[in-house]
A = this chain, B = another copy of it.
Amino acid sequence: MIDSQKPASAQDAEHHRTKMQKRKAVQDKEVASKTVEKGLLIVNTGAGKGKSTAAFGLALRMLGYGRRVVVIQFIKGAWHTGERKALERFEDLVEWHALGEGFTWETQDKARDIAACQGAWRVAQQALANPDVGLVILDELNIALRYDYLPMEQVLADIAARPESQHVAVTGRNAKEAMLEAADLVTEMTLVKHHFKAGVKAQEGIEF
């Protein structure tokens, strides 16, 4: 009911307060209904930017709580220079394995790519078995799986068998259906507009 005795601005403020109180009640109820704590399998996929970047943002968050992070790069060995340098400040907490040998169209040798992926997976298995590790980033794993450089069943079994509190972030476009099904959280990064279209080149601090 509109109270005509009150000035419009006071009514507006009161309306806003009531609306926000309701919203807060909904929010509080929702928060209270969530009780499970567990390590999540997080998948960042899609053709847009930010898949790996968001995973490294998550690493930053974990590091803020002093939790250990292991990064395993499956494909683009030559990239992430910036993040890698920055994470050197956390050398007590971060382990970085760049086992991919650059983009696959750089190597042009399928057998070598498969061997590199298998080697990377053996390192991943160690991280996935270590309860001291809070977050394992399997960077561009989706690409390795898409090319069938690694068997999906093995990958999912090893991820499922990890310590209960450990989080795993899988990145790369074209995540396969089995990976999406196994995931707790899936975000698709959709490209809406890209500066490369306007002739802007890859720049330090943005693309690498």
Binding site for B on A (CB under 8 A): 12-13, 16-17, 20-21, 23-24, 27, 30-31, 33-38, 40, 42, 44-46, 48-50, 52-65, 67, 80-87, 89-90, 103-111, 134-135, 167, 180, 183-196, 198-206, 208
Partner of A135, one of B42, B44, B48, B205: B205
Partner of A34, one of B13, B21, B54, B202: B202
Known contacts A16-B110, A64-B84; 18 additional CB pairs below 8 A are A17-B109, A20-B104, A20-B105, A24-B106, A24-B108, A36-B198, A36-B199, A37-B200, A40-B206, A53-B58, A61-B205, A62-B82, A64-B85, A64-B86, A65-B85, A184-B195, A187-B190, A188-B192
**Bound CA span A48–B104, Å:** 30
The interface residues of chain B lying within 8 Å CB-to-CB of A109 are: 13, 17
Partner of A187, one of B49, B52, B103, B183: B49
Q: List 12 A-B contacts (CB under 8 A).
A: A20-B108, A21-B108, A24-B106, A36-B200, A50-B54, A53-B57, A61-B206, A62-B205, A65-B204, A86-B90, A184-B195, A185-B193
The interface residues of chain B lying within 8 Å CB-to-CB of A189 are: 50, 54, 187-190
The interface residues of chain B lying within 8 Å CB-to-CB of A46 are: 190
Q: Given A64-B82, A64-B86, A206-B40 in contact, is the A196-B20 Cβ separation under 8 Å?
A: no
The interface residues of chain B lying within 8 Å CB-to-CB of A167 are: 205-206
**Bound CA span A190–B30, Å:** 21
